Amino acid sequence: MSIANESTSEPKRRIQFAFTDEQEQFRTALRRFLNDRSPTTEVRRLMATETGYDPAVWRQLSDELALPGIHVPEQYGGAGFGMVELGIVMEELGRSLLCAPYFSTAVLAANAILNAGTETQKAALLPDLASGARLATLAIAEPDGDWNPAAIATVAAPAGDGYRLDGVKSYVVDGHIADLLIVAARAPKTSGLEGLALFTLAADASGVKRRQLAAMDPTRKIAQIEFSGAQASLLGNFNDGAKAIERTLDQAVIALANEMAGGAQTMLDSAVNYAKMRVQFGRTIGSFQAIKHKLADLLLEVELAKSAAYHAAQAAAANDPEWPALASLAKAATSETYMHAAAECIQIHGGIGFTWDNDTHLWFKRAKSSEVFLGQPSYHRELLMQRWGV
Amino acid sequence: MSTMNEAEVRAEVREWLAANWDPDMPLVEWRGRLADSGWGMPQWPKEWYGRGLPMALARVVEEELAAVGAVGVAKSGVRLLAAATILEHGSDLHKKRYLRRILTGEDTWCQFFSEPGSGSDLAGATTRAELKGDFWIVNGQKVWTTSAHHADHGMLLARTDWDAPKHEGLSYFIIDVKQPGVDVQPLRQMNGHASFNQVFFTDAKVPKENLVGRVGEGWKVAMTTLAHERRGADGLPPPPKRGTRIGRIHAEERAEAEKANQPYEWYPQRAGRVDLIIDRAKETGTNKDPVVRQEIAKLMTLAKCAEWTARRARAAQRQGRPQGPEGSLGKLAASHVARACARVHTLMTGTAAMLTGPESPREGIIAEILVSVPAVSIAGGTDEIQRNIIAERVLELPKEPRFDTGPFRNVRRN
Ligand SMILES: Cc1cc2nc3c(=O)[nH]c(=O)nc-3n(C[C@H](O)[C@H](O)[C@H](O)COP(=O)(O)OP(=O)(O)OC[C@H]3O[C@@H](n4cnc5c(N)ncnc54)[C@H](O)[C@@H]3O)c2cc1C
């Protein structure tokens, strides 16, 4: 089920294995900003709020760093960079666990519009997302939690000069605060990848009922959204609907893989620092081989996971035909590494690692929510095999 | 360091190849010419068979050689470890005497480091060297010495002072293997091949001038050899050759390789043969088994990530960035890949994994993978030692506690 990029006109380039100096500088500036604005005290404060983010910080990261539109072409009000820069943003966000509607607005919604929208729709919708003025999200999965677009059951029936949506979406990231909803639905009486398309509507439209779900990971808020005869507009067309959905999901998977690589690095750093500090039996615990070797193994795992995440982003940026397969590979690799790093980080902290006051659980929860979000490792491994034609 | 750019390098190599490359020249003569021109090892210094080019440009030169199908200088075995050590610590005499013959393939080398009593703990060597007149007289035993049975010279780590602390009483020598005091006995490995040996030294002689570095500096010199060994262990295959005209030189090269490689025909198998995985899945029909598909995907993910990590390290090096952690992980990653390959290959092979030899799957290759892979996590420093090194050097965790200080004479040993 490869969706190799016949729809894009960009030529294929060579896949890069190093970041440019400009990309490294961008990362440094971003890391400085996040260290300053998103210390764990802030993460803890925001995760306890209902909206889950700080509008002032959102404004700043939009105005000063142009983050929401980093990968959006300049003609639609973005910064005109691509997947590699988006990957850098995600890695740094994963490292610092910033609480903000970034994944929903920039990664899911903006890419969905870029992939599916007509010229007019892109020009109408993207500038407000790129500037951070408007929040948006993409609703794909339904209460059964299946990420395969073929499983979508929500129906869009022609009504007036648009469509009426009926169905229930779930696991919608930032669904409780988004202004604009993009919804994946199918034409009546269709099944599989036939008849799928994306639709837009305002979140406060009539026939839309939103309910925030109790999220295991409080740093990533999710909602269930019920549509009963809600009036929506078709984004793009039906012919390319399934392709646009898959492409958007693959890009989101790469972004998430980079976020997970950043989170895993934080877990490793935290475990290493603690191992150098904590003394038992008259020596630092980092001098015990059981701990030392665990950390060496984790370092290897984290570097391997980074390679997967970077490579997938570079492949997508280079428009390499293999990039969707590499997206799945990266998702599986980084999910397992992040989860492992988080579990080992708790273990190396001992009893204190199990407390609420210790920060490790914030990343541990993010690790698990990311592992299952957009498809589990086993799901993506199977996808990888299919995409490689095995 | 040279200031040539890529285009200039390409142009110059091409011009030189056009004037010099002749596929019908005898192999040793060609390699000598290549070595003398500096294009055989362009990353080496100008005074010694190189051009002082950075690694990135050396690869460009390799590409140009490959493009016309030109044979490169000899690089097999541990010869380049010996060369790197001589370049860094050797005298001009050593460089003159050994480097060129290493590159032409006339001389073969081996590494006399491990002993029955000291493998991971190399600094515990008890083979002794005593200076008597113009010769160092060597007595003791080395073991697991790859290629000693056809080597001309060996890099030898031996104890010259028993009262100094362990690491300070060692010296490093170049020893002629083909002499009466050196008795090489092949050792059969668990895979049935015999590429390593045990070697007994009984009053073997090393001319005084074959000391590398100073007396007591053997450990420092050995570290150079080991650093090059581990760096080379990232499991990346050499670039493919795109030959144009095949001449007599190629036949000679092939004959040389066949003879030299015979005891090492299992080497590709020890790395796990990840290249065969997908074909084997289709061939065995296990590509339809969802459990096997998961295992294949896990393995291929690991193998790809290891490959990309090595490429990241190279790319960073090319950009002149300081080496990041990704550069120290290759050997450990290669062990994981090899082990996973052995597991998945035998999983896919099923009951037929009980067989070996020509009638077994893939003419015995699958069986050979299984019984060769265990070498990877031992040879050149075990996985555990790699973890110590990574933890101490990269993560800056505390060093292992020491129980071997004071005069070596009093240190506990096997
Ligand atoms: C195929 C092959 C080719 C080889 N070729 C050569 C060669 O050409 N020249 C040469 O000199 N040697 C060669 N060797 C030897 C190789 O370098 C040694 O076998 C290796 O370094 C391990 O040493 P050992 O065998 O003495 O095992 P030991 O050092 O006794 O190790 C036994 C076990 O203890 C563990 N261990 C030891 N120290 C520590 C520690 N500090 N912390 C945690 N665990 C520890 C090891 O990891 C291992 O699991 C070769 C070996 C193989 C398998």
B288/chain A closest Cα distance in angstroms: 9
ipTM of the modeled complex: 0.93
Listing DSSP states for B286-337 in one string gives: GGG-HHHHHHHHHHHHHHHHHHHHHHHHHHHHHTTPPP-GGGG-HHHHHHHH
pLDDT of residue B323: 76
Per DSSP, the three-state class of B95 is helix
Between CA B328 and CA A144 the distance in angstroms is 44
Q: How far is A385 from chain B (nearest CA, A)?
A: 7
**CA B174 to centroid of ligand 1, rounded, Å:** 22
Q: Which of the four pLDDT bands, split at 50, 70 and 90, describes residue B318? A: confident
For residues A90-100, give the mean pLDDT: 98
Joined tokens for residue B123: 């600094």
pLDDT at site A99: 98
Ligand 1 pocket, residue B381 CB under 6 Å: yes
Second CATH level (architecture) for the domain A243-387: Up-down Bundle (1.20)
Distance between CA atoms of residues B349 and B286, nearest Å: 9
Instruction: Please give the angle made by the CA atoms of A19, A23 and A24, to the nearest 5 degrees.
Output: 80
At B245 the pLDDT is 66
Q: Quick check: B356 and A260 in contact, CB under 8 A?
A: no
The matching CATH number, chosen from 3.40.50.720, 3.40.50.9100, 3.30.300.30, 2.40.110.10, for A137-239 is 2.40.110.10
Residue B82: C-alpha distances to residues A223, B111, B159, B259, B263 (Å): 64, 8, 19, 21, 20
B301 and A332: CB-CB below 8 Å? yes
Do β-strands A208-212 and B109-112 pair in parallel, antiparallel, or remain unpaired?
unpaired
Please give the pLDDT value at position B236.
Answer: 41
Q: Compute the distance between CA of residue B354 and CA of residue B374 in angstroms, rounded to an integer.
A: 18
Residue A209's Cβ-side half-sphere holds a number of Cα atoms within 13 Å equal to: 8
Q: How far is A390 from chain B (nearest CA, A)?
A: 6
Residue nearest to atom 2 of ligand 1 (CA): B379
CB A230 within 8 A of CB A253: no
Helix-helix angle A323-349:A241-277, to 10 degrees: 30
Question: What gap in Å lies between CA A158 and CA A8, rounded to an integer?
Answer: 29
Between B242-251, B309-318, B337-346, the lowest mean confidence (pLDDT) is in B242-251
Q: What is the pLDDT of residue A319?
A: 95
Helix (H) / strand (E) element for A23: namely helix A21-37
Chain A residues whose beta carbon lies within 8 Å of the beta carbon of residue B305:
304-305, 307-308, 333
* % of chain A surpassing 90 pLDDT: 96
Place of tokens 């339809």: B288
Q: Average pLDDT of A152-163? A: 97
Question: Minimum mean pLDDT among A284-293, A315-324, A362-371, B56-65: which range?
Answer: B56-65
Q: What is the pLDDT of residue B264?
A: 85
- Count of CA atoms in the C-beta half-sphere (13 A) of B200: 6
Q: Give the number of other CB atoms < 10 A from CB of residue B267.
A: 13
Q: Where is pLDDT greater, at B244 or B119?
A: B119
The pair of structure tokens assigned to B330 is 């290759």
Distance B115 CA to ligand 1 centre (A): 9
B 336-375 residues with CB < 8 A to A? 336
Residue B238 pLDDT: 45
Q: Which residues contact A227 (CB under 8 A, 6 or more apart)?
A: A154, A165, A166, A167, A168, A169, A183, A207, A208
Determine whether the shortest distance from the Cβ of B144 to ligand 1 is under 6 A: yes
Q: How many CB pairs under 8 A join A and B?
A: 125
pLDDT > 80? residue B327: no
Partner A contacted by B55 (CB < 8 A): no
| Token pair listed for B194 | 């015999």
pLDDT of B324 over the 90 cut = no
Dihedral pair phi/psi, residue B401, rounded to 5°: -65, 145
State whether B293 and A381 contact (CB < 8 Å).
Answer: yes
Q: Which residue's structure tokens are 């030392």? A: A292
Q: How many CB atoms lie within 10 A of CB B136?
A: 24
Question: In this predicted structure, what is the pLDDT of residue B168?
Answer: 98
With residues binned 3-state (H G I as helix, E B as strand, rest as coil), the percentages for chain B, rounded to 5, are: 50, 15, 35
> Given pLDDT bands bounded at 50, 70 and 90, which one contains residue A11?
low
- Taking all residues of chain A, what is their mean pLDDT, rounded to a whole number? 96
CATH of A18-133, one of 3.40.50.720, 3.40.50.1400, 3.40.50.2300, 1.10.540.10: 1.10.540.10
What pLDDT score does B225 carry? Answer: 94
Q: Is the pLDDT of residue B159 over 50?
A: yes
Per the CB < 8 A criterion, the answer to whether B87 and B95 are in contact is yes
Q: What is the pLDDT of residue B255?
A: 82
How many CB atoms lie under 10 A from the CB of residue B291?
A: 9
Q: Cα(A135)–Cα(A106) distance, rounded to whole angstroms?
A: 9
CA dist B62 and B357 (Å) reads 37
Q: In B68-122, which ranges are continuous DSSP H helix?
A: 79-89, 92-94, 100-104
Encode pLDDT of A34-85 as tens digits.
999 999 999 999 999 999 999 999 999 999 999 999 999 999 999 999 999 9
Gap from CA of B388 to ligand 1 centroid (Å): 14
Poorest-confidence range of A321-330, B169-178, B260-269, B376-385? Answer: B260-269
* Positive/negative CA dihedral, B194, B378, B113, B176: positive
Span B303-332, average pLDDT: 87
User: SS3 of B15, please?
Assistant: helix
* Contact call for residues B126 and B161 (beta carbons, < 8 A): no
Supply the pLDDT for residue B231.
74
In chain A, where are the structural domains located? 18-133, 137-239, 243-387
Residue carrying structure tokens 């980093």: A70
pLDDT tops 70 at residue B138: yes
Q: Which of A20-34, A207-221, B325-339 has the lowest mean pLDDT?
A: B325-339
How far is CA A247 from each of CA A101, A117, A141, A178, A279, rounded to the nearest angstrom?
A: 21, 13, 15, 22, 50
Nearby residues of A31 by Cβ (< 8 Å), 6 or more positions away: A92, A95, A96
Number of H helices, E strands in chain B: 14, 8
| Closest protein CA for atom 41 of ligand 1 | B385
Check residues A159 and B227 and name the one with the higher pLDDT. A159
**Touching A: B residues 221-280, CB under 8 Å:** 278
Chain B residues with CB under 8 Å of A311 CB are 304, 308
**Region of A48 on the Ramachandran plot (φ > 0 left; ψ -120 to 50 alpha; else beta):** alpha
Residue A39 φ/ψ region, left for φ over 0, alpha for ψ in the -120 to 50 degree band, beta for the rest: beta
Give pTM, 2 decimals.
0.93
Q: Cα–Cα–Cα angle for B358, B360, B366, nearest 5°?
A: 100
| Average pLDDT over every residue of A241-254 | 98
Reply yes or no on whether the pLDDT at A6 is more than 70: no
The pLDDT score that the predictor gives to residue B328 is: 78
Q: Are A285 and A295 in contact (CB under 8 A)?
A: no
Evaluate if residue B1 carries a pLDDT over 50.
no
pLDDT of B396 above 90: yes
Average pLDDT over residues B107-132: 97
Say what the pLDDT of residue B145 is: 96
- Identify the H or E element spanning B344: helix B330-349
CA-CA distance, A319 to A204, in Å (whole number)?
37
Res. A5 pLDDT band, cuts 50 70 90: very low
pLDDT band at B55 (very low <50, low <70, confident <90, very high): confident
Coil, strand or helix at A367 = helix
pLDDT (average), residues B262-266: 84
Predicted confidence (pLDDT) per residue in B211-262, tens digit: 999 999 999 999 999 988 877 654 444 444 545 567 888 888 888 777 777 7
Q: What is the mean pLDDT of chain B?
A: 93
